[in-house]
Amino acid sequence: MKRRVAVTGVGLITPLGTGVEKNWEALIAGRSGIGPITRFDAGALATRIAGEVSDFDPVDYMPAKEAKRVDRFIQYAMGAAEMAMEMAALEVDDRLSPRIGVSVGAGLGGLPTLEHYHEVLLKSGPRRVSPFFIPGMIANLAPGNISIRYRAKGPNLSVVTACATGTHSIGEAFKIIQRHDADVMIAGGTESAITPLCVAGFSAMKAISTRNDEPEKASRPFDKDRDGFIVAEGSGILILEAWEHAMDRGATILAELVGYGSSADAYHVAAPAPGGEGAATAMRLAIEDSGLPLDMYDYVNAHGTSTYFNDLYETQALKTVFGDHAARLQISSSKSMTGHMLGGTGAVEAAYTVLAIQREIIPPTINLDEPDEGCDLDYVPHTARPAAIRTAITNSFGFGGTNACLALARFTDKP
């Protein structure tokens, strides 16, 4: 028997704000977090806009000395984990310590730290490279530091699957609990890679928007005038618990994680497979894993990147999987407001999906002024919509053709 898995806490740090309520207020209001890049002089770049986190102070979540030793993506993960643990009201004692694990990934890891110390090496030589350089920037030090903070001695891993990282991290944590390898998992994704090299690299691929004069309108999933995604940063963390563990301690259950699917396109290093073949497989597997019928699904938090092929093929994949029911789905892309947080985005969107289920409101897709040909489903344009969501999926697709999907359901104490 597969164990049921509850979501009992979420933590959010995004361009919409630091904290769950700040995020939710902005999300439901349809407020964009995209603006001009302030971290560095972007004047020479084709894209000069991004989704920066503007209200985060690491010393709110860790000692200043510790904060200076780690890259910003680790700081974000630590902050979001603290929020999630507080919401879950979870205390780690000697009994729980060996049974709680961490699964938190990053797509690019500590790119800002890497760029900084490369410059230090070239200008000042190897003696000026800090001993904290490596432990401060490698991807698995996000879950590593969270584990140390909470004495989480169970499974500890850092998934790296580009834009699907956060979703895979949560999905793998879900399976760890289901197979009894842990009772609780701190799971999610994190990223902070708004650097000259990152933006220049995505710009060279012609993957990101150049709508520099209208940053708030630049991310426009499914719209005919979309011209690429927006690089952003942030972190989302979920607390997953075995159902009986959550019930025994009287935890507030926000939603139930009921399914997980993953697949590969085996097609191209960056472009999705035509027709969304791999995406459809991941969705189908998550739905089959849930054991719930297609007509129980009401909402899709779409990957919806604001790139031409991704939005078109995701739409086609939804039609392939859901058939006639696809026309009745309510679909939205929160990337229209947050931008694309790379390794953090899937976890943030999973958290948004949990909140949409719990609070019975579907976030909108902003900037959807004229849907593109072939993008003809209900994308909840412009305005949030009250809805009693029974079951939802959230999608993430990454470079290399990696796909992940989570299925989440409304809380019920029925078996």
What residue ranges define each of the domains in the chain, with the CATH number in brackets?
5-248 (3.40.47.10), 261-409 (3.40.47.10)
CA-to-CA distance for 169 and 156, rounded, in angstroms? 11
Q: Round to whole Å and give the CA distance between 164 and 382.
A: 26
Among the listed residues 168, 245, 340, 405, the single catalytic one is 340
Average confidence (pLDDT) over 258-270: 97
Quote the pLDDT of residue 201.
97
pLDDT, tens only, 62-95: 999 999 999 999 999 999 999 999 999 999 999 9
Torsion of CA 78, 80, 82, 88, to 10 degrees: -150
Q: Would the pLDDT of 112 be above 60?
A: yes
Cβ neighbours of residue 143 under 8 Å, at least 6 residues apart?
77, 102, 103, 104, 105, 156, 157, 158, 186
User: What average pLDDT does the segment 257-278 reach?
Assistant: 97
At 253 the three-state DSSP class reads coil
Active-site pick, 168, 198, 245, 303: 303
Annotated catalytic residue 180:
no
Question: Is the pTM higher than 0.95?
Answer: yes
Q: Based on the residue annotation, tell me whether 163 is a catalytic residue of this protein.
A: yes
pLDDT at 413: 74
* CB contact at 8 A, 143 and 156: yes
Per annotation, catalytic residue among 163, 198, 375, 405: 163
Q: pLDDT tens digits for 275-288?
A: 999 999 999 999 99
Is residue 303 annotated as a catalytic residue, yes or no?
A: yes
pLDDT, average across residues 194-223: 97
* Average pLDDT over the chain, rounded to an integer: 97
Residue 141 identity: L
